[in-house]
Chain A
Amino acid sequence: MLILGMAAATYLTRVTPFFIRIREYRFLKYVPASVFSSLVFPDIVRSTDNLIAGIVVFAVAWKNRDLMLAFLAGISALYILRSVF
């Protein structure tokens, strides 16, 4: 019952936009920059370790857009910071 309700609620948030066409592409084109910024910032201001690791990843991502590289830079930077300090 709980699982069905959760599944329905989640699917609703995902499927509804696929059946309502939004023509305001002027706003929509800012979705990636806005959404990912909102997901990233609460996580990098959580602790000093996260903030430093976040800056490292920013620098890496600036030079190279490879997602795998960013991923590896992120986990290794945080792992090293947490082990050393």
Chain B
Amino acid sequence: MGDTIEKVSIIISKGSLEGIYPGLIMANGARAEGIEANLFFTFFGLDAIHTKRLEHIKVAAVGNPGMHMATLVGVLPGMSAIATHMMEKKMESFDIPGIPEFMELIGDTGCGMYACKASVDLFGFTQDDFIEQVQGIITVGEFFGIAGGGEIIFT
């Protein structure tokens, strides 16, 4: 075995289902390997920790070539909800938890969770808008301090 990773900090910057899951899976997977992990939510990624929004995270039906669907179809009302529903059913069959349960699980693993101060100010949020697992609203500088000595992944 070569070098090992001891610590990782993952930035989640997007608010779509496909933008949020990879970072969550990597953070949870890191903890399962005994790797220290932190999650830093910025911009629309804040939706993943927003108490009123995390249950309504949707797949992007427009501007998403991975959907293999004509853009004109994607703009139809309810299309994003349908795509999300299909994706969620598929994920459930593979035993992938929904975002609310996943956030709770990741919190229980001891992964750090932080919100980006600039984005929080921009959107007019406060700590009260976030799930209890969020340990604080921090600046970029503080993030680098917390991430010190480890790898940083931007998603």
Asked if chains A and B come from one complex, the reply is no
Residues of B within 8 A of A (CB): none
Q: Which residues of A are in contact with B by a Cβ distance under 8 Å?
A: none
